[in-house]
Amino acid sequence: MENIALVVGSTGITGSNLAQELISQGWTTYGLARNPNRSVPGLNPVKADLLDEKSLTDALEDITPTHIFFTTWMRNDTEEENIRVNSALVRNLLQALSPKKSVKHVALVTGLKHYLGPFEAYASAGSLPETPLREAQPRLEYPNFYYAQEDAVYEAAERDRFTWSIHRPHTVIGYAIGNLMNMGTTLAVYASICKETGAKFIWPGSAAQWNGLSDVTDARILAKQLVWASTAEAAENQAFNVTNGDVFRWKWLWDRIAGYFGLEAEGFNGSVKPLEKELEGKQETWKEIAKRYELKENDLSKLASAWHTDLDLGRPIEVMTDVSKSRKAGFAVFESTEDSFFDLFEKLKEEKIIP
């Protein structure tokens, strides 16, 4: 039977890399988004609003996917609103497809907030999660939209008799322009500004992140795990952490990134220096850089998401994961984290996003 994939959130860093992986493996692939991705060769765009049930029904009228890959979410002002909106995104889609009875597997991408919860869970409350983070750790007693999305998948799976998999990456590194949670591109843009202005490449985060062990997830590794889990019997109805498979300390990697750009690095020196504040007022500087080097995008806000990078690098705890569960089940793909960043930087140069 032909595998027909529907990638929900195909314009994001995870969705766009996943679409390319599916197409390379011969899957018929549809990409659903409010503003569909038309830049991936072989991807069939589907324009729909997940919060508009009629929009979904109309857009999917002639599509009978066998596999759903849910890779998107919407940021809201409160966690209660996150729960309401993001569970509705999942529920609406699966309800729209339910009458077709075509879906065999649903994969949902969430993240490490599953284990960490909100800031007060590991800072104000003083209860630190055990690291490395493992899939068997119980849910926290805090509101969490990841839990609500999972529950929406479980409910639909019970109703429609499909299998599921949950995927929990750490920080995702990879190429996707316009994605507002892309640490790799944010750091590349910051480094480019430092290079042009002669400034130091200043570590923006905490002492715990600077000194502690960490890991990240290459978008290409995540894509491969998603495809593997959607057809592997050992992965049915399981949740999996997913990272590159190596660990590092930021005090090592920061110097490596600075060296790539030919910058002088400054590490943690006693206080957090948020990148969001560092990039304030740099819009005109970036416009000048974009003009000088004939770059494709001169709007700094469309490339850098300092707020999200600050959330990751400012954590007051060490964060790393155990990926042995998926390895034991048969997924053994690996990527060097240094290569993840450097491959991205080369791609950004090639595409005239950075100088």
Inter-residue contact 238 to 174 (CB < 8 Å): no
Percent of the chain with pLDDT over 90: 88
Mind listing the pLDDT tens digit for each residue in 303-343?
A: 998 998 998 999 988 999 999 999 999 999 999 999 999 99
Measured distance CA(43)–CA(146) in Å, rounded: 27
Say what angle helices 283-293 and 183-197 make with each other, to 10 degrees: 80
pLDDT of residue 19: 97
Report the number of secondary-structure helices (H) and strands (E) in the chain. 15, 13
Q: Please give the mean pLDDT across all residues of the chain.
A: 94
pLDDT-based confidence at residue 130 (cuts at 50, 70, 90): confident
Q: Could you tell me which of 54, 142, 147, 137 has the C-alpha nearest to residue 96?
A: 54
Residues noted as catalytic: 113, 146
Tokens of 3: 């595998």
pLDDT-based confidence at residue 222 (cuts at 50, 70, 90): very high
Find the mean pLDDT for residues 249-253: 98
| Cross-strand bridge partners of residue 172 | 217
Measured distance CA(325)–CA(329) in Å, rounded: 6
Tokens of 187: 């750091």
Helix (H, G, I), strand (E, B) or coil at 12: coil
Tokens of 85: 């909106």
Measured distance CA(118)–CA(140) in Å, rounded: 10
Whether the link from the prior residue into 99 is cis, omega within 30° of 0, is: no
| Cross-strand bridge partners of residue 218 | 173
| Cross-strand bridge partners of residue 217 | 172
Measured distance CA(203)–CA(190) in Å, rounded: 11
Measured distance CA(214)–CA(44) in Å, rounded: 37
Inter-residue contact 4 to 27 (CB < 8 Å): yes
| Cross-strand bridge partners of residue 4 | 28
Find the mean pLDDT for residues 143-164: 97
Find the mean pLDDT for residues 24-50: 94
Detail the DSSP E strand segments found in 55-117. Answer: 67-70, 105-109
pLDDT of residue 36: 87
pLDDT of residue 120: 63
Mind listing the pLDDT tens digit for each residue in 165-216?
A: 999 999 999 998 656 568 999 999 999 999 999 999 999 999 999 999 999 9
pLDDT of residue 155: 98
Given a cut of 70, whether residue 127 has pLDDT beyond it is no
What per-residue string of b and e applies to 127-149 under the rule 16 or more CB within 10 Å gives b? eebebbbebeeeebeeebbbbbb
